[in-house]
Structure 1
Amino acid sequence: MSASDIGIDLGTDSVLVYIRGTGIVLHEPSVVAYDRDTNEIKSIGEEAREMIGRTPGNIAAVRPLRQGVISDYTITEKMLKYFIHKAVGRKTFWRPRITVCVPSGVTEVEKRAVIDATMEAGARDVIIVQEPIAAALGAGIDISKPFGNIVVDIGGGTTDVAVISYGDTVVSQSLKVAGNDFDDAIVRYLRKKYEILVGERTAEDIKKQIGTAYPRDEEETMEVCGRNVLTGLPKTIVMSSVETQEALESCLTQIITGIHKVLEETPPELSADIATRGILLTGGGSLLYGMDRLIEQITGIRTTLADDPISVVAIGTGRYTEFIEAKKNAR
């Protein structure tokens, strides 16, 4: 990977850009605001995220990626072009080689859409890497050896569970449940129990402040303001961390079931490695309080949260070309 090449973690929730020798140079929400009448882009990234749920009828603030794949090709291409230019400057004569990570379960058609959108955004060449492999590389794991490592990457749109050995995935599962589904589950819980409607940003705040996957030593509470479903008027309630665990139970069960399935399909020799090495937890969704303790308690396998779980995939994406070049030279 030359100093001019870049790695992009193209996530449902946010986009991170990594440049070799510099590190993470951009971290912004995957949100685009545009005028429905003229299709004119109004803002991209953090500024657009601020507009979610607060725009007039003709302005839409959207996430062009859903569950790790492109749902709106044109907007994704414009968003990528904007982020690439913002990260590296508008060098019109230079087209970088770009490595992009995708969920392990993407189809060839979905992969092709990512490649095409990235090429249209200004790349001269595009390399695709699966998220679990990028996460392992970013966390500093030497995946080139024939030893089993298991990575659980909980992003915004997908949770990727994969056993990696000798530089590739042996068994993997890409689950359509992750951080954004945690937010949705909180919204549904509040509507059902308290008859109040809250937006996705409020739900995200609840998740970050008092959300929990495993019982806390001390119960936390938070005031939540929303709209009463019956009267249409503002209503404030107090929500507890115990209630968030109840709200998230279904999502957490799906993730645990996915981990179990991967472990069941893992060859015995690699299972022995995993028992020794443990589970590596990455992605923004892994920051939910007690997620590591919940997985460890249910699987019986030591579970470690990566040092910088949000950035490891982007870092690993940036390092991937170095890894494949080193692999070729070793042959």
Structure 2
Amino acid sequence: MLGKDIGIDLGTANVVIYVRGRGVVLDEPSVVAIDSFSKRVLAVGEEARRMVGRTPGNIVAIRPLRDGVIADFDITEAMLNHFIKKIGIKGFMARPRILICTPTNITSVEQKAIREAAQRCGAREVFLEEEPKVAAVGAGMDIFQPYGNMVVDMGGGTTDVAVLSMGDIVTASSIKMAGDKCDLAIMKYIKEKYKLLIGERTAEDIKIQIGTVFPGSRTDSIDIRGRDMVSGLPQTVTITSEEVCTALQEIAQAIVLASKSVLERTPPELSADIIDHGIMLTGGGAQLHGLDRLLAEELKVPVMIAEQPMACVAIGTGLMLENLDKSPQNRRKKKIFS
């Protein structure tokens, strides 16, 4: 079949790919393992993620996307190539149209880098769409009506907050406080309090298993292992949910402030709609325990978590791809991006 349409959520933590007519076909970590001497790609995705922090000196597991944008162009291209081959769509006759999601505030240079990476992977046409808009569509919000919808999309590298109406963004904010920063905050807290060094994967496990950002909402604990900074030997300590809440306080407040600033810049009529419809939480960060309660309490607006928060952007790209030819806005984009 000539030119299948592909939607890509090119996330800092995960790459999710949607193929028109097939649904979500790939969801893998945005990690590439390379040989630091020969620069040869050794593994991509889940296989490479398993190597993080566990490789010999010459093998480096790196994440080519940082804060929602391309940090290493060549490796991003290699990663995209690998994933597109893996889903079995690339071939002599198959030059797909690709829709890629980006954070709201990326520069034209960063947009160009994303577009070029996709074109070099064999795309016939490339469309870029703002992530919160696509996430809102994927979460089932009807953003094309003349009333206000608000979405908070917390990914790995960025948290995007947007108010949408008539199919476009009215006000938006994008901050580099998201899942990755939560992991780093947990690592920093444990290093300072317990003089214990832990890796990113351990920090992520702590965040998922006992983490919360709403004080008093969780009373779990977990034993973690790391390297004692004083003795240099392996050590085990017990961490509680309350401690994780303290570690994540700064990031949680940054997300609350970004949401408040977007609401403050929203026209009054749309603000009234948001009180009626509530705020939709999407992205992997939506699963962070207590975030919905914290936002609801601070913003005085109902907050809901999307049914499949991790897949919202990919589902949204699929729905937008299916309506690509019908939308006059996208017909204009076709002339710009092709």
Q: Find the aligned partners of 2:6 and 2:155 in 1 and give their Cα distance.
A: 21
Q: Find the aligned partners of 1:312 and 1:56 in 2 and give their Cα distance.
A: 37
Q: Find the aligned partners of 1:214 and 1:326 in 2 and give their Cα distance.
A: 43
Amino acid at match of 2:299: T
Alpha-carbon offset, residue 87 of structure 1: 1.4
Residues 1:119 and 2:119 are matched in the alignment: yes
Per the alignment, residue 167 of structure 2 pairs with 167
Amino acid at match of 1:293: R
Per the alignment, residue 274 of structure 1 pairs with 274
Paired residues of 1:3 and 1:20 also in contact (CA < 8 A):
no
Q: Find the aligned partners of 2:93 and 2:15 in 1 and give their Cα distance.
A: 24
* Residues 208-242 of structure 1 deviation map (CA, whole Å, 9 limit, x = unaligned): 00000113555100001010011111110000000
The residue correspondences of 1:190-229 to structure 2 (distance < 5 A) are 190-229=190-229
The residue correspondences of 1:51-90 to structure 2 (distance < 5 A) are 51-90=51-90
| Percentage identity across paired residues of the two chains | 50
Q: Find the aligned partners of 1:218 and 1:51 in 2 and give their Cα distance.
A: 32
3-state secondary structure, aligned to 2:327: helix
Per the alignment, residue 137 of structure 2 pairs with 137
The residue correspondences of 1:1-331 to structure 2 (distance < 5 A) are 4-328=4-328
TM-score, with normalisation over the residues of structure 2?
0.95
TM-score, with normalisation over the residues of structure 1?
0.96
Alpha-carbon offset, residue 270 of structure 1: 0.8
Q: Find the aligned partners of 2:57 and 2:305 in 1 and give their Cα distance.
A: 42
Amino acid at match of 2:160: D
Unaligned ranges ≥5, structure 1: none
Question: Aligned-residue CA RMSD in angstroms?
Answer: 1.5
Count of aligned pairs: 329
Amino acid at match of 1:224: I
Q: Find the aligned partners of 2:271 and 2:62 in 1 and give their Cα distance.
A: 42
Amino acid at match of 1:110: E
Alpha-carbon offset, residue 7 of structure 1: 0.3
Find runs of 4+ consecutive structure 1 residues off by over 6 angstroms: none
Q: Find the aligned partners of 2:13 and 2:204 in 1 and give their Cα distance.
A: 11
* Residues 293-319 of structure 1 deviation map (CA, whole Å, 9 limit, x = unaligned): 110011110000000000001110122
Q: Find the aligned partners of 2:51 and 2:9 in 1 and give their Cα distance.
A: 23
Alpha-carbon offset, residue 328 of structure 1: 2.8
Unaligned ranges ≥5, structure 2: 332-338
Paired residues of 1:144 and 1:327 also in contact (CA < 8 A):
no
Q: Find the aligned partners of 1:122 and 1:43 in 2 and give their Cα distance.
A: 21
Alpha-carbon offset, residue 325 of structure 1: 3.4
